[in-house]
Structure 1
Amino acid sequence: MTGPGLNVAATRVGTRALGPGLRSVVWVQGCPFRCAGCVAPEWIPDRPAHRVDPARLADELLADPGVTGLTLSGGEPMAQAAGLASLVRTARSRRRLSVICFTGYRLERLRARPPVPGVEELLALVDVLIDGRYVAGLDDGRGLRGSSNQRVHHLTPRLAGCGYDFTGGPRTAEIAVDGTSALLVGVPAPGLLAAFDSAVAQVRSRLSPPQTPDATPAPPGADRHRPCEDD
């Protein structure tokens, strides 16, 4: 592995649920914030998930020739800023791309006291930054923000005039199923997360055999992978 590696929780190639156009998404593992109601608590712990070289990850995220942008989420992207900056630089050397990044940190904090090396470098590559911790009581079900206290910063003009409403537009979500794993992609509208969890529980119950002392463990049901919009 060359350069700073990335600890990745999940990826999705080609989605329209996390920003304008067709985008690829990377969710990193680990977050210093523990916001109540986080949509992906399993991605909060700073533990090994999938280690990947940024150049190899760029290959994966650009596999669909129609992809026009990257969305960085998690977990907390700024905790792996150097690796993500390397990913964006590599991807942009191959294709013209817009970049959206979620973070629980306020932009002012990132500029004044970067939490880790590489933050300034990553910010220079981001077109739209959505900042602030998720507050469940302020989730108004609108826009790409998780809650209304989070702010949308156009750090470049690239997406400012594209017609996409980051703050007040309707939310969209996709459910990607791969074998026995299900991934909810997007900022969920009110009630969607509970419905998703209920569906996953039903699948698991159908796939699990009756428990007996001699029973061989059954293959897992649909995994409860859910993206955190960086509380």
Structure 2
Amino acid sequence: MSAAPAVLNVAATYVGTEALGPGVRSALWVQGCPFRCAGCIAPDWIPDRPARLAGPAELAEELLADPRVTGLTLSGGEPMQQAAGLAEVVRLARQIRDVSVVCFTGHRLERLRARPPSPGVPDLLAVVDVLVDGRYVAALNDGRGLRGSSNQGIHHLTSRLADCGYDFGRGPRTAELAVRGPEALLIGVPPLGLPAAFDSAVDAVRARMFPGRKQP
């Protein structure tokens, strides 16, 4: 396995969600994405800037703190930019518990295999069970499945989740809202219309809490 970096640049984590794949999962979103897709649900996580710096061992332990967790979902940002570190997180997590792994990427699988954008990509693909690939296209968002738009592909790289009964491509979407102090986190691939409603609600709460303050 390629040497993993000492730290990952993490946008956010969440332990114990049912909105990002089958079963109870923990999510890890990395900071930084080269694609800048129009309508991205997480524009704050696009810039390649320092966020939370954390080591793979710390993250593996954190993501499995809830004994109900049976899987990890990796997103961002763009996971393939930090592939070696994420592969190490998965390796260490599986020493604790045999978790499944779902990963999102804006890259196409064939391109990742032919011209990986970072040295750790083969290591990460080797530990991912389901890969959701392709850039988000807002006009192709049909409100179905665990992908943002219908052009994105669902690839079962292993058989682990192939017969689990979860419809990755056409199933109904769910989303969860986590409020942590002044921050609100929208978890999942949201149903149509929910991101705009979420942003409006957050802006309204901020306006009440901070009257006269210009909203970002």
Query: How far did 1:3 drift?
Result: 4.4
Which of 19, 34, 37 is 1:35 aligned to?
Answer: 37
Structure 1 207/114 Cα, relative in aligned 2: closer, same or farther at 3 Å? same
Matched residue count: 213
Could you say what secondary structure the match of 1:85 adopts?
A: helix
Query: How far did 1:161 drift?
Result: 0.1
Structure 1 position 163 matched with structure 2 position 141: no
Q: Which runs of 4+ in 1 moved over 3 A?
A: none
Q: Residue type of the partner of 2:173? A: R
Q: 2:142: which partner in 1?
A: 140
Q: Residue type of the partner of 1:199? A: A
TM-score w.r.t. the length of structure 2 is: 0.96
Distance in 1, matches of 2:202 and 2:27, equals 22
Q: 2:9: which partner in 1?
A: 7
Q: 1:173: which partner in 2?
A: 175
Q: 1:149: which partner in 2?
A: 151
Query: How far did 1:209 drift?
Result: 3.6
* Cα deviation digits, residues 113-147 of structure 1 (max 9, x gap): 00111100100000000000000000000000100
Query: How far did 1:59 drift?
Result: 1.0
Q: Residue type of the partner of 1:127? A: D
Q: 1:206: which partner in 2?
A: 208
Q: 1:91: which partner in 2?
A: 93
Structure 1 90/201 Cα, relative in aligned 2: closer, same or farther at 3 Å? same
Distance in 2, matches of 1:179 and 1:40, equals 19
* Cα deviation digits, residues 147-202 of structure 1 (max 9, x gap): 00000000000000000000110000000011111000000111100110011011
Question: Per chain length, whose mean CA-contact separation is higher, i.e. which structure has more relative contact order (CA < 8 Å, sep 6+)?
Answer: 1
Cα RMSD for the two superposed structures: 1.5
Q: Residue type of the partner of 2:54? A: V
Distance in 1, matches of 2:80 and 2:114, equals 14
Which of 78, 81, 84 is 2:80 aligned to?
Answer: 78
Q: 1:113: which partner in 2?
A: 115
Could you say what secondary structure the match of 2:57 adopts?
A: helix
Computing the radius of gyration from Cα coordinates, the structure with the larger value is 1
